[in-house]
Amino acid sequence: MVKTTRIRLDRVSSSTRNAHLGAEVIVGDEIIAAEGYVLAVRILQDKSSYNTVEDVSGRMISLRAGDVLAGTLGHRRALRGYAGVVPGQIAVGDTIEVLNLGGILGTCTSSNPEIGPPFKAEVLGAILAFPELGDRIGRPAHIRDHAVPVAERLESQVPVVYVAGTCMNAGKTVAATELVRGLTRSGLRVAASKLTGVSLMRDALAMLDAGAVAALTFNDTGIATTRAGLTVTAAKGIFNRLATQRPDVMIAELGDGILGEYGVQDILRDPELTAVGAAYVMAAPDPVGCWGAVTLMRDLFDLPVTVITGPATDNEVGRDYVRTELQLPAHNALRDAAGLVEVVRHAMDRRPATALV
């Protein structure tokens, strides 16, 4: 018999948004230790850094000792953040850790010294969902509830501008946001997405603020953290849903790097997804990263790089290298957004027209 308790949440993390939680929830003591299930936990200590969580409105709010948080079980393999996994078993009273700003919960296996150890939290129980009218028993809530359906087939033929990078913090979101802004101001109807990474609304919200008519992330398909084997059907589901907004173009950010464990490679190898690729924007931190990214895109994925952006293009030294040695355009998204947009728009104009779905 499941033992249930009614509790009040102080913080509802953005990773849980598909579950549509209220301020008060009912938790059960039978916990399914698998990615995507939603738990209530109590934060056990204060922290001076990496001490916030994104709520379902997209605001960053502080976490303090004693706060009751709704989070989502998931793994993380971030080069510049925490690495962690979903433990094999979880019981009420166990200690678990907060692995990212979106409220992903798991057991931390490695941390970056720049951000210190993660929040520790006491497990209070599995938050229950009651999908059927009159249901008094409930079932453990999962973020696939109310999710955008994944798809085996890409129905949309809307052209896509893929924004990829060599690693975290290479300038992908800045580039994607400026592309949304610039293409929108040029008269196009732009939709946006983030196809890989760890649950967080921030990047999609930035693209909405820049003028996107709609923006979705893998989290909207019920995935807490992407990995190989998940990203292709999620991307196709996202593109199919965004196509209902009748965009002229979609901007798709690929979180993490083109080498990594978040499933970016699967997207770049899928014939349907690359067939709609109108441009491939690459963000890199330095000339070595630029060379490596161009080489990998050519040799591993048989794909061209349209333009280089990111910190490697911060000044003329990096830009000259890209233009002279790699024979590619180089435009910094912060300092020369217009140039970046112009190159991408030119690539779109060269692509054969396709019917919008």
Global pTM reads: 0.93
The rounded distance, in Å, linking the Cα atoms of 17 and 52 is 17
* Residues 104, 199 contacting (CB under 8 angstroms): yes
Instruction: Spell out the domains of the chain, with CATH numbers in brackets.
Output: 4-140 (no CATH), 160-350 (3.40.50.300)
The rounded distance, in Å, linking the Cα atoms of 19 and 3 is 21
Q: How many residues does the chain have?
A: 357
Distances from the Cα of 181 to the Cα of 162, 208, 227, 340, angstroms: 15, 9, 29, 11
Helix 172-185 and helix 202-209, axial crossing angle in degrees, nearest 10:
20
Question: Under DSSP, is residue 151 helix (H, G, I), strand (E, B) or coil?
Answer: coil
CA 276 remoteness from chain centre: 20
* Residues 232, 152 contacting (CB under 8 angstroms): no
**Beta carbons within 8 Å of 216's beta carbon, 6+ residues apart:** 148, 192, 193, 194, 204, 238, 241, 242
| Token pair listed for 108 | 């931390």
Cα Rg of the chain, angstroms:
21
* Residues 283, 165 contacting (CB under 8 angstroms): yes
| Token pair listed for 185 | 């101001």
Phi and psi angles of residue 317, each rounded to the nearest 5 degrees, phi first:
-60, -50
Render each residue's pLDDT in the chain as its tens digit; 357 residues. Answer: 678 899 999 999 999 999 999 999 999 999 999 999 999 999 999 998 889 999 999 999 999 999 999 999 999 987 778 889 999 999 999 999 999 999 999 999 998 888 889 999 999 999 999 877 656 778 999 999 999 999 999 999 999 999 999 988 889 999 999 999 999 999 999 999 999 999 999 999 999 999 999 999 999 999 999 999 999 999 999 999 999 999 999 999 999 899 988 999 999 999 999 999 999 999 999 999 999 999 999 999 999 999 999 999 999 999 999 999 999 999 999 999 999 999 999 999 987 765 333
Query: What is the model's pLDDT at position 357?
Result: 37
**Beta carbons within 8 Å of 20's beta carbon, 6+ residues apart:** 145, 146
The rounded distance, in Å, linking the Cα atoms of 299 and 284 is 18
* Residues 235, 265 contacting (CB under 8 angstroms): no
